[in-house]
């Protein structure tokens, strides 16, 4: 069988790769029958030999060609590979083309696998699909995550599935440690999960934009009382003002919120909040704030 796995959602695409490898291993007694080619060791002649030869205890090989579809598998190389595959019995081997990013739709390998194999494309997930994924991942780890709690994880971690997976596992381990079968609570997330961008930072920036400095300082004081480290808060403020500058530049180019989200690759929630905040600053003022923050960092060294 021939498979093509690709897409910018590298977490789920890698899960599919692991799944196919496990399925193959169930029917093979020879670990050496799984052969990996990547950019460092790709050689077309060796690929050809691997497709038609097997080990002593294996009936067929699993060949994985990883992250090679743009280079070194050029158009000419793809032609040779496809020609070889067309004259070879597909049932004599398993072949996986794996690419952990997007590839052009006119790629020759895509068109070939469409006719001769199976394609798995993994695009980033968001909205209701991301909430469902988080809930299912919780069940995989043995915990229940309600939709509103899943939304809190989205606010904290965005659509970074690698980190979502790690944090959900951490929450599950915590539940096992305290011998609790209750659903994950928001308080437990606040206690155990460090957000990519603190929700309180948005409030702080809104207050600064409104020139309500007294409340802005009180906002930071509350975050410190809640246990957030000063250096972490500082890094989050710098991170958010950097986002504000990037968003402001795109707003001045008349890009829509959707276009900004796609260009900067940040979560829709973060995009929405940042676009709203950026409209309350001039680009010059944002640059001055960033310069001030950098000077403060330099003086602290």
Q: Which pLDDT belongs to residue 256? A: 92
Q: The domain spanning residue 216 has which CATH number?
A: 1.20.272.10
**Res 155: pLDDT:** 73
Q: Domain range for residue 236?
A: 199-300
Could you tell me the CATH number of the domain that includes residue 9?
3.40.50.300
Residue whose token pair is 């919120």: 257
Cα 163 from chain centroid (whole Å):
8
Do 257 and 277 share a domain, yes or no? yes
The pLDDT profile of the chain, 301 residues, written as one tens digit per residue, is: 899 999 989 999 999 999 999 888 887 666 668 889 998 899 989 988 888 876 555 578 889 999 988 777 788 888 999 999 988 887 778 899 999 988 888 889 998 999 889 999 999 888 899 999 999 999 999 999 999 999 888 877 878 899 999 999 999 999 888 888 888 988 888 778 866 656 678 888 888 888 888 888 888 888 787 666 787 778 778 878 888 999 999 999 999 998 998 888 766 777 888 898 899 899 999 999 888 888 876 766 5
**Pairing mode of beta strands 93-99, 118-121:** unpaired
The answer to whether residues 206 and 240 belong to one domain is yes
- Integer-rounded Cα Rg, in Å, for the chain is 25
Same domain, 106 and 185: no
Same domain, 156 and 204: no
Q: Are residues 6 and 110 in the same domain?
A: yes
| Residue 264 shares a structural domain with residue 162 | no
Are residues 100 and 75 part of one domain?
A: yes
Q: How far apart (Å, rounded) are the C-alpha atoms in residues 192 and 168?
A: 10
pTM of the model as a whole = 0.63
Looking at the structure, tell me whether residues 185 and 267 fall in a common domain: no
Structural domain tally of the chain? 3
> Domain containing 155 — which CATH number?
1.10.8.60
Check: CB of residue 175 under 8 Å from CB of residue 181: yes
Same domain, 230 and 260: yes
CA distances from 165 to 138, 169, 282 (A): 9, 6, 38
Are residues 205 and 184 both part of a single domain? no
Q: Are residues 183 and 132 in the same domain?
A: yes
Structure confidence at residue 168 (pLDDT): 95
Q: Tell me the three state secondary structure of residue 70.
A: coil
13 and 96, same structural domain?
yes
């Amino acid at each position: 069988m021939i498979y093509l796995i690709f897409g910018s959602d590298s977490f789920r695409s890698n899960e599919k790769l692991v799944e196919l490898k496990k399925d193959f291993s169930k029917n093979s007694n020879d670990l050496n029958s799984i052969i990996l080619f990547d950019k460092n060791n790709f050689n077309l002649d060796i690929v050809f030999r691997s497709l038609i030869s097997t080990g002593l205890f294996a009936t067929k090989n699993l060949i994985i060609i990883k992250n090679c579809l743009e280079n070194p598998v050029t158009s000419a190389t793809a032609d040779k590979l496809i020609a070889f595959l067309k004259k070879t019995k597909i049932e004599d081997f398993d072949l996986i083309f794996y690419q952990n990013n997007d590839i052009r739709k006119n790629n020759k390998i895509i068109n070939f696998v469409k006719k001769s194999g199976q394609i798995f494309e993994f695009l980033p997930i968001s909205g209701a699909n991301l909430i469902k994924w988080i809930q299912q991942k919780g069940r995989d780890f043995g915990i229940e995550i309600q939709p509103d709690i899943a939304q809190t994880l989205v606010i904290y971690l965005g659509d970074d599935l690698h980190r979502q997976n790690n944090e959900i596992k951490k929450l599950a381990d915590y539940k096992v440690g305290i011998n609790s079968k209750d659903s994950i609570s928001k308080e437990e997330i606040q206690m155990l999960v460090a957000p990519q961008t603190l929700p309180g930072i948005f409030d702080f920036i809104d207050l600064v934009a409104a020139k309500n400095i007294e409340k802005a300082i009180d906002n930071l004081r509350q975050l410190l009382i809640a246990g957030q480290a000063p250096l972490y808060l500082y890094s989050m403020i710098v991170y958010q003002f950097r986002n504000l500058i990037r968003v402001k530049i795109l707003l001045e180019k008349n890009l829509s919120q959707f276009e900004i989200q796609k260009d900067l690759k940040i979560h829709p929630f973060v995009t929405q909040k940042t676009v709203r905040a950026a409209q309350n600053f001039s680009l010059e003022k944002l640059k001055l704030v960033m310069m001030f923050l950098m000077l403060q960092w330099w003086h602290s060294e």
